[in-house]
Amino acid sequence: MTMGLRPLEAAHWLEIDDRRDAELALKSRLLTQVPEVVVATRPPGHAPSEELFDEVLAWLDTYAAGTVAAAPRQGDHPVVAAARLVQEDLCVLVRDDVWRLQATCVCFPSRWSLATKIGRSLDEIHAPVPGYRDVLASATTGVFDRLRGERPFWRLNWTVLDDPALFQPESAREAVPEDVNQWFFRVERQTIRRLVATQAIVFTIRNYVCPIAELARQPEFLEHLRAGIEGAPPAMQEYKGWGGVARRVRDAVG
């Protein structure tokens, strides 16, 4: 297990594509219908969220001019106002005794509950992840402590699910169906950057979902998928809901 961080240029902090209107519309519906599920804030996160909102506006003005005609706040908490403008989910972490999640708008969770994370430390947030405490906990805290405003980073996380929906807050991890053609490959593009004024850290999550059947048309994709699943420890395979997946991929590869 490694964090797999890569340096990130400012121009690529956020990503915009042709799904923007649909995804922002879905965010808006979720913020209206289930705000208690997709938003969680605490007082220490307010000032950093104000700075984050300004940073999102500045980025859009610099790298996506014309994308946003105005920046209505609608009485929202600033982390929500910022999240309404971008396809990414946004998390703000503030350092006291440890790094804690203090403000967040996550409309597209991948089978985890936001309510169980707010106010928690990095170690507590990642406690369910097999091997995190022993392998990654100290390294992750070290990265957050040393992160400088001019040096953001990005990484990728992926899994195989039986549902293409972006909004999946339920924690239950069912085994995927037998038929490979009913699977979906979900990738999270995650970034971390420090806010200069408040010294808080922003963690962004951008989700991409594609049917396995479509990706399988690319040479060697299924073979690489099989290798990635088989290379994961058994505890991680169970945590991800990958029971029997590698076997079924081998059968599909032939």
First to last CA, the chain: 29
* Residues of the chain above pLDDT 70, percent: 94
Work out the widest C-alpha separation in the chain, in whole angstroms.
Answer: 56
- Amino acid present at 253: V
Instruction: Summarize the confidence of residues 111-117 as an average pLDDT.
Output: 85
Q: What confidence tens digit (pLDDT) does each residue in 30-63 have?
A: 999 999 999 999 999 999 999 999 999 999 999 9
C-alpha angle 72/75/16, rounded to 5°?
A: 40
Structure confidence at residue 253 (pLDDT): 65
Please, which pLDDT band fits residue 64 given cuts at 50, 70 and 90?
Answer: very high
Q: What confidence tens digit (pLDDT) does each residue in 156-214 have?
A: 999 888 889 999 987 655 566 777 778 899 999 999 999 999 999 999 999 999 999 89
Please, which pLDDT band fits residue 128 given cuts at 50, 70 and 90?
Answer: confident
Structure confidence at residue 173 (pLDDT): 59
pTM: 0.91
Tokens of 74: 């609608």
Nearest of 214, 84, 205, 110 to residue 166 by alpha carbon: 110
Structure confidence at residue 114 (pLDDT): 87
Q: Tell me the average pLDDT of the chain.
A: 89
Three-state SS for the chain is CCCCCEECCHHHCCCCCCCHHHHHHHHHHHHHHCHHHHEEECHHHHHHHHHHHHHHHHHHHHHCCCCCCCCCCCCCCHHHHHHCCCCCEEEEEEECCCEEEEEEECCCCECCCHHHCCCCEHHHHCCCCCCHHHHHHHHHHHHHHHCCCCCCEEEEEEEEECCCCCCECCCCCCCCCCCHHHCEEEEEEEEEEECCCCCCEEEEEEEEEEEHHHHCCCCCHHHHHHHHHHCCCHHHHHHHCCCCHHHHHHHHHC
Pick from 90-94, 99-103, 215-219: least confident: 215-219
* Residues of the chain above pLDDT 90, percent: 56
Question: Are the C-beta atoms of 61 and 53 separated by less than 8 Å?
Answer: no
**Number of other residues whose CB lies within 10 A of the CB of residue 190:** 20
- Amino acid present at 194: R
Instruction: Summarize the confidence of residues 221-229 as an average pLDDT.
Output: 88
Question: Are the C-beta atoms of 56 and 13 separated by less than 8 Å?
Answer: no
Q: What confidence tens digit (pLDDT) does each residue in 66-83 have?
A: 877 556 667 899 999 999
**Number of other residues whose CB lies within 10 A of the CB of residue 142:** 11
